[in-house]
């Protein structure tokens, strides 16, 4: 989308300093009108870079870091797009928010109008797992490969997967329904017995998780 305002010198009221002008017409040259004195003139369009390097704030569990994503200045991005960003590491991420140069957040935008992207890491994710055994429910947070599939009805060491809550989506509760780890909000498991749940419970202190990854 063409910017409808630009800063140029006005020969009538500001020949030595750029002031705000309204763009009336676009083409090989712009027709602009000074917002101060309303004088009109023809000016050269501002230079537009062919490629941009966008700043991306990447979230992973309770941490975040900055990466960079390069694309054409006239290309569009949308929330939900999956891209590869680089910095000290190379991450597959999903865009969760797009912030424009004026601070407004949009669901989609042209690259040249974007100030920063917000994203979640999806090649490695932390999944919340609720294990229900008898009258007890225990919650765990376990890292998985983002492509790992959770299937309703599948038997795991902790028990059978009974439900899967999809991020910004439905609850899957029919046998055979599945979701990838990168899309999962929470996995619900029916444990067999309290003793087996205690024996196989997931630990954050270095014990191997009781789920296949």
Verify that 108 and 129 share a domain, yes or no: no
Verify that 187 and 135 share a domain, yes or no: yes
Verify that 112 and 134 share a domain, yes or no: no
Verify that 105 and 166 share a domain, yes or no: no
The pLDDT tens digits of the residues spanning 46-71 come to 766 678 899 999 999 888 999 999 99
Under a CB-based contact definition with an 8 Å cutoff, are residues 146 and 125 in contact? yes
Verify that 114 and 151 share a domain, yes or no: no
Establish how many alpha carbons lie within 13 A of residue 10's alpha carbon, considering only the half-sphere containing its beta carbon.
18
Q: Is the pLDDT of residue 160 over 70?
A: yes
Which residue among 85, 100, 121 closes a domain?
Answer: 121
- Asked whether residue 172 is domain-assigned, the answer is yes
- Asked whether residue 84 is domain-assigned, the answer is yes
Report the DSSP pairing between strands 114-121 and 51-60: parallel
- Asked whether residue 206 is domain-assigned, the answer is no
Verify that 67 and 33 share a domain, yes or no: no
Whole-model pTM: value is: 0.63
> From CA 80, how far away is CA 27, in angstroms rounded?
34
The pLDDT tens digits of the residues spanning 185-203 come to 999 999 865 444 444 444 3
Verify that 132 and 178 share a domain, yes or no: yes
Which residue among 61, 89, 121 closes a domain?
Answer: 121
Verify that 192 and 130 share a domain, yes or no: yes
Question: Where in the sequence is the domain holding 182, given as residue range(s)?
Answer: 125-200
- Asked whether residue 210 is domain-assigned, the answer is no
Verify that 115 and 56 share a domain, yes or no: yes
Verify that 134 and 175 share a domain, yes or no: yes
- Asked whether residue 96 is domain-assigned, the answer is yes
Q: Is the pLDDT of residue 77 over 80?
A: yes
Report the DSSP pairing between strands 184-190 and 124-133: parallel
Residue whose entry in the numeric block shows the structure tokens 């960079």: 68
- Asked whether residue 183 is domain-assigned, the answer is yes
Alpha helices in the chain (DSSP H): 194-200
Verify that 140 and 95 share a domain, yes or no: no
> From CA 183, how far away is CA 147, in angstroms rounded?
9
Binning pLDDT at 50, 70 and 90, where does residue 118 land? very high
Verify that 88 and 141 share a domain, yes or no: no
Specify the number of domains making up the chain.
3
- Asked whether residue 60 is domain-assigned, the answer is yes
What is the model's pLDDT at position 14?
93
DSSP label at 3? -
- Asked whether residue 71 is domain-assigned, the answer is yes
């Amino acid at each position: 989308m063409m910017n409808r305002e630009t800063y140029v010198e006005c020969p009538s009221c500001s020949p030595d300093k750029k002031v705000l002008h309204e763009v009336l017409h676009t083409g090989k040259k712009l027709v602009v009108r000074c917002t101060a004195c309303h004088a009109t003139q023809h000016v050269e369009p501002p230079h537009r870079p062919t490629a941009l390097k966008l700043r991306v704030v990447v979230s992973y569990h309770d941490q975040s870091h900055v990466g960079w994503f390069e694309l054409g200045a006239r290309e569009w991005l949308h929330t939900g797009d999956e891209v590869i960003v680089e910095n000290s590491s190379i991450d597959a991420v999903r865009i969760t928010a797009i912030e424009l140069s004026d601070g407004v957040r949009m669901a989609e935008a042209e690259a040249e109008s974007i100030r920063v992207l917000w994203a979640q890491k999806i090649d490695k994710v932390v999944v919340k797992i609720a294990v229900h055994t008898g009258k007890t429910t225990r919650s765990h947070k376990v890292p998985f490969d983002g492509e790992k599939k959770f299937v309703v009805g599948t038997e795991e060491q902790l028990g059978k997967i009974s439900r899967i809550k999809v991020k910004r989506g439905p609850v899957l509760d029919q046998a055979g329904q599945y979701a990838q780890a990168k899309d999962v909000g929470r996995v619900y498991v029916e444990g067999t017995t309290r003793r087996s749940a205690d024996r196989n419970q997931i630990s954050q202190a270095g014990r191997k998780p009781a789920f296949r990854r």
